[in-house]
Amino acid sequence: MEQFRLPQIPMPTLELPGAVQQVLKEAEEQLKDRPKLLQLFQNCFPNTLETTTKLMEDGTTFVITGDIPASWLRDSVEQVIHYIPLAKDDKDLQRIIGGLIKRHIQYLHIDPYANAFNESANDWHWNTTDETDMSPWVWERKFEIDSPCFVIRLAYLYWKETGLTDIFDASFKGALRKIVDLFKTEQHHAQLSPYRFTRNNGIPTDSLRNKGLGMPVNYTGLIWSGFRSSDDACDFHYNIPGNMFAVVALRQMQEFAEWVFRDLALLQELKALEEEVVHGIQLYGIYRHPEFGPMYAYETDGFGNYCLMDDAGTPGLISIPYLGYTTAEDPIYQNTRRFALSKENSFYYEGKVAKGLGSPHTPPDYIWHMGLSMQGLTAQSAEEKLEMIRLLEATDGGTGYMHEGFHADDPSVFTRKWFAWSNSLFSQLVYKAMKEGLL
């Protein structure tokens, strides 16, 4: 996402909620013997609130991704997710997170296919030549299956933590309908979908082939996605970690249908859709690797073709337990993890300073801080968690913050110096380690 050239939006400074200030005080005590890690945590934990968050007059919250003045559904959720455990007794956090959920619902009603939105209907776009059905509210309209799933993730975790139900209004239920209809349509993409996307900028991964329709797929019960969580086009349009995330979202939506809206017809519809996607994953999403055994593919087309890789972005194969589809003990996940963290994965890099997951979105040999953070969050051993924290601490390039990607031989060479999602995921790992008594 390095193409952006418009002026930045100044974000008003928020006073940090009391619960966030308390965590920073806890860190001062627990990390006092690791001054650099303490400084990183003090910078990164409040970064979303200090630099990217704006409270709107309509009661919603607008959260930019950092160095781009637009709100990605995915990024904005993960930018605030580490505050959820603090929200139960903090009214300021409830205002911020509850307001973000309400804004997400507004965005889904505007365009369920879009991945990033503007603060207002200002007609700003990532690329003004995109051939797709744009709205003045939409910054970018790359359909990524994870975008609506993240909206559900935030609402669900917020509800479970706080018990608050004011977000569950008619508009919220209408958004559930939008998501269900979207998923059902994209199970039959070529036959039913109105979605097309091409970008005439000479970068193949920014456009869908076949005149914006995408490469052919077979019916599998899986949900079609145009783009990955890295905003790059899929090779094969059934993204398996994205479909796993959709299963988790459908299960969470079932709880909304049953316990909030008391809508048994919607509940049964969601259960049936979940079953179709799970069946598709089990039948089409598992590849029998000669070295690693049965493992989850990154993408498939339902015709027997597979993309075997992992990307540091979420959802990815490494992040499957983090998202809640299965546990870290799942044998197929363990096989998948061994593959992803090996040189068999084209986007796993080892250098003089670090080794870890990168992405086709950045140059070769660039490791992503988010990949290291996610590896730590899904690690089963304390040793692996601590090693990831050590690597993160050693590769900030002297900036005091996390980045997108950094060169495996030289962390001072990196992309995106202001990337709030990466700061938040790092903070989540360190805070979890603090709570587990590892630091």
- The reported pLDDT for the residue numbered 314 is 98
- The reported pLDDT for the residue numbered 14 is 86
Rounded Cα distance, 395 and 410, in Å = 8
- Sheet hosting strand 299-300, strand order edge to edge: 238-239, 299-300, 306-307
Q: Are 285 and 296 in contact (CB under 8 A)?
A: yes
Residues with Cβ within 8 Å of residue 112, at least 6 apart in sequence? 148, 178, 179, 182
- The reported pLDDT for the residue numbered 211 is 96
- The reported pLDDT for the residue numbered 9 is 58
Within 10 angstroms of residue 122's Cβ, the number of other Cβ atoms is 11
- The reported pLDDT for the residue numbered 13 is 77
Q: In 3D, which of 434, 432, 324, 333 has the Cα closest to residue 377?
A: 432
Burial class (CB in 10 A: 0-12, 13-18, 19+), 390: middle
Within 10 angstroms of residue 177's Cβ, the number of other Cβ atoms is 12
- The reported pLDDT for the residue numbered 256 is 98
State CA 85 to chain mean position distance: 18
Confidence of residue 196 (pLDDT cuts 50, 70, 90): very high
Which DSSP category does 430 fall into?
Answer: H
- The reported pLDDT for the residue numbered 48 is 98
Rounded Cα distance, 149 and 254, in Å = 13
Asked whether the CA dihedral 22, 34, 79, 155 is positive or negative, the reply is negative
Query: Within 13 Å, how many C-alpha atoms sit on residue 303's CB side?
Result: 8
Condensed to tens digits (0 to 9), the pLDDT of residues 170-180 reads 999 999 999 99
Domain boundaries, the chain: 18-435
Amino acid 381 reads S
- CATH class of the domain comprising 18-435: mainly alpha
Amino acid 41 reads F
- The reported pLDDT for the residue numbered 5 is 43
pLDDT at 245 over 90: yes
Whether a cis peptide bond, with omega within 30° of 0, leads into 17 is no
- The reported pLDDT for the residue numbered 112 is 98
Q: In 3D, which of 195, 77, 59, 186 has the Cα closest to residue 134?
A: 195
Rounded Cα distance, 255 and 260, in Å = 7
Condensed to tens digits (0 to 9), the pLDDT of residues 275-314 reads 999 999 999 999 999 999 999 999 999 999 999 999 999 9
Confidence of residue 2 (pLDDT cuts 50, 70, 90): very low
Asked whether the CA dihedral 357, 381, 150, 326 is positive or negative, the reply is positive
Condensed to tens digits (0 to 9), the pLDDT of residues 98-148 reads 999 999 999 999 999 999 999 999 999 999 999 999 999 999 999 999 999
Rounded Cα distance, 207 and 45, in Å = 35
Share of the chain above pLDDT 70, in %: 97
Rounded Cα distance, 161 and 147, in Å = 22
- Mean pLDDT of the residues in the chain: 96
Q: Are 201 and 169 in contact (CB under 8 A)?
A: no
Helix locations, 45-111, DSSP H = 47-51, 73-80, 91-110
